[in-house]
Amino acid sequence: MLKDRINDLHAQVNEMSASSAEELEALRIKYLSKKGEITALFNEFRTVPNEEKRELGQLLNALRQDAEGRINALREQFEAKQAEADKLDLTRTPDPIALGTRHPLSLVREEIEDIFSRIGFTIAQGPEVEDDKHVYGMLNFAPEHPARDMQDTFFVEKEQGVQKPTDVLLRSHTSSVQTRVMTSQKPPIRVLCPGRVYRNEAISARAHCFFHQVEGLYIDKNVSFADLREALLYFSKEMFGPETKIRLRPSYFPFTEPSAEMDISCNICGGTGCSFCKGTGWVEILGCGMVDPNVLEACGIDSKEYSGYAFGMGVERITNLKYRVKDLRLFSENDVRFLHQFEAC
């Protein structure tokens, strides 16, 4: 019966939905186009007897109206969505994500590690809370050496409130890692020891109670002072540029003999003299020397068979030279305005 088919189709039309403009167009064609199902019913309608025409005509018109209405409503929905999408500027750069920055001391330490790793140095580490033996004793410090003084070294109290010096202390230099490595490894030894050290200093722009050092140690047969000089010259040129010159001045450390301090040509004025190098054209960057035979022996290495060199530099000092950080305190305050200046480094 035509009436039933109209009602069935009407039920379908009421349920109509589409998830894209293409699907919607397919529905329109299915129901309302020249060959559509509703159009087909209208064609059939012409053949129904006159007495049924009134009722069926009304049903058919209602069906067509509803189908058109529904399709138009769905189309409006899609158009509104499209307009919304058109408003999105997909070429716009996204909101920047605030990235953290590397700490300048980490940047410089890693650069030092990188430079020495290219000539065969590997990284070694030791504890920051150390004992007297590894920090001073085995490094040939005389028992009454002033470095052991409480003015220079932080001692760790064994019992709370007991002030007298104990055996346990915060290492005051990374040379303690030398003794740790020499007592646990056999030569050849070629290590770089980066780490934090502590000294009992009043905090100011030029001194801090902790800072960072990188120690180097090379032990093998026939290691000479010339090898030390060559390694340090290579380092200085890599770190501060190929024009850099070095100068070794005789010095004293209990654990090296001979000992020297090394200056580089001032990388700020190029050696002509400025306020940074106090007009001398040179700036000191590290201490070094040939490992004292007493130290080798204390660590169980035959000083007749082996020799070696050692050097130690302050990371803050190198960072100061590279990035002109005048006040040491900036390194540990973690002020983001300071740290963000190293974003691009």
Q: What is the gyration radius of the CA atoms in the chain, in angstroms? A: 41
Which residues between 203 and 222 bind ligand PHE (CB under 6 A)? Answer: 215
Bond prior to 188 in cis (omega within 30° of 0): yes
C-alpha torsion angle, residues 273, 234, 312, 283 (rounded to 10): 0
Residues 6+ apart with CB under 8 A from 146: 152
Neighbours of 100 (CB within 10 A): 9
CB of 163 to ligand PHE, least distance (A): 25
**Smallest distance, Å, CB 232 to ligand PHE?**
11
Q: Which residue has the tokens 């305190």?
A: 329
Mask 269-308, x = binds ligand PHE (CB under 6 A)?
------------------xxx-------------------
Nearest to 71 by CA among 124, 143, 23, 134: 23
Spatial distance between the Cα atoms of 46 and 246, rounded to a whole number of angstroms: 109
Binds ligand PHE (CB under 6 A): choice among 223, 310, 315, 321: 310
Of 195 and 287, the one with the shorter C-beta distance to ligand PHE is: 287
Q: Measured from the CB atom, is 266 or 310 closer to ligand PHE? A: 310
Cβ–Cβ < 8 Å for 109, 214: yes
Nearer to ligand PHE, 271 or 289 (CB): 289
Nearer CB in complex with ligand PHE: 246/310: 310
Which residue in 308, 312, 331, 342 binds ligand PHE (CB under 6 A)? 312
Residue 195 in the binding site for ligand PHE (CB under 6 A): no
User: Nearest-CB residue to ligand PHE?
Assistant: 312
Toward ligand PHE, which CB reaches closer, 6 or 288?
288
CA distance 29 to 34: 8
Residues 252-271 that bind ligand PHE (CB under 6 A): 253, 256
- Answer whether 344's CB lies under 8 Å from 327's CB: no
Residue ranges in contact with ligand PHE by CB under 6 A: 173, 175, 215, 253, 256, 287-289, 310-312
